[in-house]
Amino acid sequence: MHRFLKTYGVITTIGMIVVLIQGALVTQTGSGEACGAEWPLCYGQLIPENPTIQTLIEYTHRLVSGLLGFMVIIHAIWSWRSIGHMKETKFFALLAVLFIVFQGLLGAAAVVWGQSNAVMALHFGFSLVSFTSILLLTILAFEDGKFDSINIPSLSREMKQYIYFVLVYIYIVVYTGAYVKHSESGSACSGWPLCNGQIIPSSSMDGKVAIQFGHRIAAGLLFLAILILFVQVMRKYRHKRILVISSAISLVFVTFQVISGAMVIFTGFTINATIFHAFMVSLLFGAVSYTALLAYRSKTAIKRG
């Protein structure tokens, strides 16, 4: 029934991943100011003449982001009209549009007026929320007409709250990672998992070392949080197939996220390693967001005492 909406949703979701990767590439290569302090023009031109590599990176990111902005809006409206009877649709449609607009405005403001590292760290997070909203809208299109009790696991109130906590905590970890990049703190800790040869840096625990070390601690705790989630699901809800699958996928993605973080350090912050790191955290956030959607749908289990 929604074949074209599904196809369009998949294309838009992939496009949003491209935008996230391009954003990471812009930050990694320091191309954010490669079009001058102008937006949407690049050095006063609609199409820059004789651009440098950095200018091409920034200009291409602007073009793709603008195109995907329109695609996201179209997808949101299309989903609202076609599967608006599913109660989550309108929420995710509004979320996708709001955050793609926030992401665009923040990017433009950073170019024209400049922004602090703390504010710029929000840029990736805004794009991530928009991407996840589009992903979930696409999943809803695939679920429509096949919606049954399989997608509504019965969870305890404590389990639901823990899943919500993990989702919020991932966003915090993502923010700290973006802040590490924008504050240029990535190389403050040499080696991994040790920081400058120490489990806990005994000196210079301020500034960039503190930012980098804090992100490592936060990322390590995230791995433990998702591991606990998976163990709890296997202990108490292993008969809920969709919940087992989503929590298992989350564990796989967070494992690759940790590995990719180590790769970034060991390879000397190469572009490929950094992009892979951003790619994995995007998939991880999407997987846990779907798990949170399942928790939202859940009918709280009645405890028998």
Q: Which residues are designated catalytic?
A: 58
Q: Which residues of 212-225 are buried (b: 16+ CB within 10 A; e: fewer)?
A: bbebbebbeebbeb
- The CA distance from 42 to 35, in Å, is 5
Report residue 86: phi and psi, to 5°. Answer: -85, 125
Structure tokens that stand for 111 in this block: 């170019």
Burial class (CB in 10 A: 0-12, 13-18, 19+), 47: exposed
- The CA distance from 305 to 299, in Å, is 18
Helix axes 207-236, 157-182, angle to 10 degrees: 150
Asked if 39 contacts 293 with a C-beta cutoff of 8 angstroms, the reply is no
Residues in CB range of 80: below 8 A, 6 or more apart: 89, 90, 93
DSSP assignment of 239-301 equals: T-HHHHHHHHHHHHHHHHHHHHHHHHHHTTS-HHHHHHHHHHHHHHHHHHHHHHHHHHHPPPP
Structure tokens that stand for 4 in this block: 């074209």
Matching residue, tokens 């912050």? 269
> What does each C-alpha distance from 149 to 145, 146, 161, 165 come to in angstroms?
13, 10, 21, 24
Cis peptide bond upstream of 153, omega within 30:
no
Asked if 87 contacts 138 with a C-beta cutoff of 8 angstroms, the reply is no
